[in-house]
Structure 1
Amino acid sequence: MRAIPLCLLSGLLALPVQATEVQDWLRRLAEAERQQSFQGTFIYERNGSFSTHGIWHRVEEGGEVRERLLQLDGPAQEVLKVDGQAQCVSGALADQVSEEQAWPARHLDAEQLSNWYDIRVAGQSRVAGRSAVVLVLAPKDQHRYGFELHLDRATGLPLKSLLLNERGQLLERFQFTQFNTAIPDAAAMQPGSRCRPVHFRTVDTMAEGSWRSDWLPPGFTLNTAQLRRLPASDAKVAYLMYGDGLARFSVFLEPLQGNVVEDARSQLGPTVAVSRRMATEAGDVMVTVVGEIPLGTAERIALSMRAGVPEQASQ
């Protein structure tokens, strides 16, 4: 029998250990926000612009999760959430909240994500004075971005998150500068006087098959389909949200009703927006794709949108 070199054997044995470790860290990440109280200060960077935010996250005895976010520089922005649902908002965000909009903790499925990302533990780091493990999620195709997560060893919470394009260039950074697991007191959870109660916009269920995409990036599936009323009129906009378990993008389909508009494309940091005019039997529609996906992918999705049930959708 031919001997197996020790270096190769050790590599083979490390594969299941690595997979088990990845699954354990993703499980801890998914559970952490519903189990662990904390407070701190973090910076957010996008497109070369920085902002600083305070966060107070409190898990009540009955399991209810209350969270307050406050921007500490620039325009005044504040959000108070209960179980991921916005209760009051200040600043420009106040006019952008819909009935289904929330900021829930992502429940990451290692087995599902491994179909679209190469996931590995890349080492260790130190963030906000705390020991962290570095988890890398590298995309297997050109249709999604890569992530580098620095997870607190003690709690599993993300202390630092980097969003990277296909060339490894930074698109977005979230990073704590101060972090502790002290339970925020009641006074810290009280919003400021400018935090206005959220008035949810009306949304309606959309008929199944009203809209479809002839092409989607592998792994992306439809999560939400709604009809939303525009704030300035009674016109309804179809809203579709797709995700792969980590990345997400939205598609808006707005009847133009004779209005003349031009196709457009833009990108701010990781967020792209692509709009194109589409002719349908019921009249022209503006298709807009918005999300943290590559620009070329968003353009292909916009071009693939169709009205009605498909004869046979292609991948």
Structure 2
Amino acid sequence: MRAIPLYLLGGLLALPVQASEVQDLLGRLAAAERQQSFQGTFIYERNGSFSTHAVWHRVEEGGEVRERLLQLDGPAQEVLKVDGQAQCVTGALADQVSEGQAWPARQLAVEQLSNWYDIRVVGQSRIANRPAVVLVLAPKDQHRYGFELHLDRETGLPLKSLLLNERGQLLERFQFAQLDTSVPAENAMQPSSSCRPVRFRAADSMAEGTWRSDWLPPGFTLTTAQVRRAPSADDPVTYLMYGDGLARFSVFLEPLKGRVVEDARSQLGPTVAVSRRMSTDSGDVMVTVVGEIPLGTAERIALSMRAGVPEQASQ
């Protein structure tokens, strides 16, 4: 089934669907990653580039979730995660999947999504030889993208996920080619010898009131606030993450210490990055916004960042 352009959704959204069915589907999707073991292969497309991956996802008896991803074409790239945290990586695969791009199941705030998206079941499909229900989430404003999700009828796992802009153009595709819902063997979860351990210096809790945003897109709230210290850097970088229950973006604030850095903006598929220099009483800071949001929204967020005591963000 091809992507459904958002401008055609008006007719589809008129289909009579009980709200309880949508609620049930979103609830199953939110729980699938934490409760369902599986293994398989999937295709990931972004910016016209395709890659094929193997995935082993194992839910342990105590609730710990272990996941191993291996890119099957091009340079060998691998990542092993435990409860979402990378334990070892090879190549650039960790950059591609660190924000969940190659695995779209997320901790959904189901009860909030309907405030920011029109959500409807629009039909059925068959992906990886498994029957699926097609769920569309059309944004109610210009500050987030639309989603088309093909959810496995048996498990609720997303067999296919399309991310679409306001013109219905495809920004990102995730699609299983083969899925096995049995528990992966223990040896399948072991990384290869080339998977290098990831070592991070501890992140401190951000001092309350250090930074604020004078404007946020409606529905987005702060979910993470940390001060990160890279092993090779003396100056800490403030890290903030915001989400609406589905979409999310991050803000990095790095002291420049006299360095000359130009403002920049870029977009690769659904992911945008906007950097701007900001003057504060303590010196210049580089503000960088990264996330799966429209470029104009990211620019407005970057311009809205302020140092000081938080105030009520306007919407």
Tell me if both proteins adopt one fold, taking TM over 0.5 as the criterion.
Answer: yes
Partner of 1:8: none
Name the CA shift for 1:312/1:125 in 2 (closer, same or farther; >3 Å): closer
Partner of 1:151: 151
Counterpart residue identity of residue 186, structure 2: A
Q: CA deviation at 1:88?
A: 2.0
Counterpart residue identity of residue 272, structure 1: V
Partner of 2:259: 259
Name the CA shift for 1:126/1:305 in 2 (closer, same or farther; >3 Å): same
Partner of 1:19: 19
Counterpart residue identity of residue 134, structure 2: V
In the alignment, does 2:243 pair up with 1:243?
Answer: yes
Name the CA shift for 1:299/1:228 in 2 (closer, same or farther; >3 Å): same
Task: Report the more deviating stretch, 234-243 or 176-185.
Answer: 176-185
Task: Report the more deviating stretch, 74-83 or 156-165.
Answer: 74-83
Name structure 2 gaps, 5 residues minimum: 1-13
In 2, the alpha carbon distance for the partners of 1:279 and 1:313 equals 20
Partner of 1:7: none
In 2, the alpha carbon distance for the partners of 1:97 and 1:50 equals 14
Give the TM-score of the pair, scaled to structure 1: 0.89
Partner of 2:209: 209
In 1, the alpha carbon distance for the partners of 2:209 and 2:273 equals 24
Name the CA shift for 1:40/1:246 in 2 (closer, same or farther; >3 Å): same
Counterpart residue identity of residue 173, structure 1: R
Partner of 2:305: 305
Q: CA deviation at 1:92?
A: 3.4
Give the TM-score of the pair, scaled to structure 2: 0.89
Partner of 2:160: 160
In 1, the alpha carbon distance for the partners of 2:275 and 2:200 equals 26
In 1, the alpha carbon distance for the partners of 2:47 and 2:144 equals 18
Q: Do the aligned partners of 1:270 and 1:293 also contact (CA within 8 Å) in 2?
A: yes
Partner of 2:38: 38
Q: Do the aligned partners of 1:18 and 1:121 also contact (CA within 8 Å) in 2?
A: no
Q: Do the aligned partners of 1:68 and 1:78 also contact (CA within 8 Å) in 2?
A: yes
Deviant stretches of 4+, over 4 Å: 14-17, 93-98
In 2, the alpha carbon distance for the partners of 1:312 and 1:67 equals 39
Partner of 1:11: none
Fraction of identical pairs, as percent: 86
Name the CA shift for 1:268/1:89 in 2 (closer, same or farther; >3 Å): same
Q: Could you say which structure has the larger radius of gyration?
A: 1
CA deviations 1:18-61 (Å, max 9, x no partner) are: 21000000111111222222111000000000000001112233
In 2, the alpha carbon distance for the partners of 1:305 and 1:156 equals 38
Give the secondary-structure state (helix, strand or coil) at the position aligned to 2:18.
Answer: helix
In the alignment, does 2:139 pair up with 1:128?
Answer: no
Counterpart residue identity of residue 86, structure 1: A
Partner of 2:177: 177
CA deviations 1:93-113 (Å, max 9, x no partner) are: 579999xxxx89523233200
Task: Report the more deviating stretch, 108-117 or 15-24.
Answer: 15-24
In 1, the alpha carbon distance for the partners of 2:63 and 2:220 equals 31
Give the secondary-structure state (helix, strand or coil) at the position aligned to 1:113.
Answer: helix
Q: Do the aligned partners of 1:117 and 1:140 also contact (CA within 8 Å) in 2?
A: yes
In 2, the alpha carbon distance for the partners of 1:135 and 1:212 equals 35
Q: CA deviation at 1:311?
A: 5.2
In 2, the alpha carbon distance for the partners of 1:166 and 1:235 equals 39
In 1, the alpha carbon distance for the partners of 2:72 and 2:227 equals 35
Matches within 5 A, 1:267-278: 267-278=267-278
Partner of 2:109: 109
Measured on the aligned residues, the alpha-carbon RMSD in Å equals 2.2
In 2, the alpha carbon distance for the partners of 1:192 and 1:82 equals 16
Q: CA deviation at 1:65?
A: 2.3
Q: Do the aligned partners of 1:97 and 1:201 also contact (CA within 8 Å) in 2?
A: no
Matches within 5 A, 1:280-295: 280-295=280-295
Q: Do the aligned partners of 2:44 and 2:50 also contact (CA within 8 Å) in 1?
A: yes
Counterpart residue identity of residue 24, structure 2: D
The size of the alignment, in residue pairs, is 298
Partner of 2:140: 140
In 2, the alpha carbon distance for the partners of 1:54 and 1:97 equals 13
Counterpart residue identity of residue 304, structure 2: S
In 2, the alpha carbon distance for the partners of 1:306 and 1:255 equals 13
Partner of 1:187: 187
In 2, the alpha carbon distance for the partners of 1:313 and 1:153 equals 40
In 2, the alpha carbon distance for the partners of 1:283 and 1:151 equals 49
CA deviations 1:204-247 (Å, max 9, x no partner) are: 11111100010000000011111112443211111111110111
In 2, the alpha carbon distance for the partners of 1:96 and 1:169 equals 21
In 2, the alpha carbon distance for the partners of 1:95 and 1:132 equals 30
In 2, the alpha carbon distance for the partners of 1:227 and 1:246 equals 24
Q: Do the aligned partners of 2:214 and 2:311 also contact (CA within 8 Å) in 1?
A: no
Counterpart residue identity of residue 38, structure 2: F
